[in-house]
Amino acid sequence: MSLLDIQGLQTSFQTRAGVVRAIDGVDLRVERGETVALVGESGSGKSVTAYSILQLLPKGQGRITGGSIRFDGTELTTLPEAGLRALRGNRISMIFQEPLSALNPVLSVGWQIVEAIRLHRRVGRRAAWEQAVELLAHVGIPSPAQRAHDHPHQLSGGMRQRAVIAIALACEPDLLIADEPTTALDVTTQAQILELLKRLQAERGMGLLLITHDLGVVAEVADRAAVMYAGRVVEQVPVQALFEAPAHPYTQGLLASLAIDELPPGTRLPEIAGTVPSLLEMPPGCAFAPRCAYASAQCREQRPAAVPLDAHRVACHHPLERAVAARRHLQEIAA
């Protein structure tokens, strides 16, 4: 049984222009001790997927309209609010994209960790404070006993992110969701935060769902990747196979943007033609068809189902022939 198993998830939002289906049939799983990266452009549905798991969609606007989210065998879409509150911050924790907005500006970071601990554990204030200081030390904040008294504005961006991670880890979750945890950080701090997440995940055996648009981050920390486009997962694949032989044309386009060092001087960086379709006016077939060089009449008329292809699971009528050939060649070498 997977730690997290999402099947056919659909999430919609009520807008002034009408109902928008932001998530449209997402299948995704995370095993214990595994790091899965959810990858895609801004607006592809990555963060909405995370908020759907935790049932943190804006009330009156967003709601789950179909599918299943099972966490350790428990169905979350029908779980009462009391059951969800018992899970959030306890067995499932989340690192939000902007640490300054995720932290309470009027409380010290130490007391914010204490609150997270005491919400789910029968622990006295003194014992909880000692645990908070230990957590700050564990995530690499120097002088943790002193820093525990600091307010968020007194910390650097990297230390704020470490404090958010400490809060998320306060109750030793089974699943950690990290939403773009390094976006607002400089390159050196990004590397430190990624290394910290890798270490903590290995030490605690957590499942880690990492939401990112950065394929460099995926290569650094993930075991598997799920590529999203226009509210759907179009390809799921082990990370090594993702970079060696992508099967979906959209994945190929994303990877082409990484090959900067391989381009001759003065050559324009490859780009994916066209734009992401409006969620209010989705094409009838494959959402990527208007931008795809391999698209056929079938692609424009019939939405592809996700099917197994070697190590991949890909939603494409015409998986890239280059990818298929490359995988066969690797299999021949291995044999």
In tens digits, the chain (335 residues) has pLDDT values of 899 999 999 999 998 888 899 999 999 999 999 999 999 888 899 999 999 999 999 988 999 999 999 999 999 999 999 999 999 999 999 998 888 888 999 999 999 999 999 999 899 999 999 999 999 999 999 999 999 999 999 999 889 999 999 999 999 999 999 999 887 788 888 888 888 889 889 888 999 999 998 888 899 899 999 999 999 999 999 999 899 888 999 998 888 877 555 556 666 666 787 888 888 888 899 999 999 988 899 999 999 999 888 788 999 998 876 555 545 555 565 55
Residue ranges making up the domain that contains 97: 92-172
Pairing relationship of beta strands 224-229 and 4-15 according to DSSP bridges:
unpaired
User: Quick check: is 277 in a domain?
Assistant: no
User: Quick check: is 39 in a domain?
Assistant: no
Report whether 19 contacts 231 (CB < 8 A).
no
User: Quick check: is 121 in a domain?
Assistant: yes
Which pLDDT score, from 0 to 100, does residue 324 have? 56
User: Quick check: is 11 in a domain?
Assistant: no
User: Quick check: is 298 in a domain?
Assistant: no
User: Quick check: is 138 in a domain?
Assistant: yes
Report whether 262 contacts 250 (CB < 8 A).
no
User: Quick check: is 102 in a domain?
Assistant: yes
**CA atoms within 13 Å, Cβ hemisphere of 59:** 1
- Total of domains in the chain: 1
Which pLDDT score, from 0 to 100, does residue 70 have? 97
Which pLDDT score, from 0 to 100, does residue 244 have? 86
Q: From edge to edge, which strands make up the β-sheet containing 307-309?
A: 92-95, 175-179, 207-212, 35-39, 224-229, 232-238, 312-314, 307-309
Which pLDDT score, from 0 to 100, does residue 185 have? 80
Token pair 């030390």 is found at 137
User: Quick check: is 3 in a domain?
Assistant: no
Which pLDDT score, from 0 to 100, does residue 308 have? 87
C-alpha closest to that of 235 among 292, 284, 307, 291: 307
Per residue in 230-248, pLDDT tens? 999 999 999 998 998 889 9
Which pLDDT score, from 0 to 100, does residue 310 have? 79
Give me the DSSP letters along 7-30: EEEEEEEEETTEEEEEEEEEEEEE
Which pLDDT score, from 0 to 100, does residue 334 have? 57
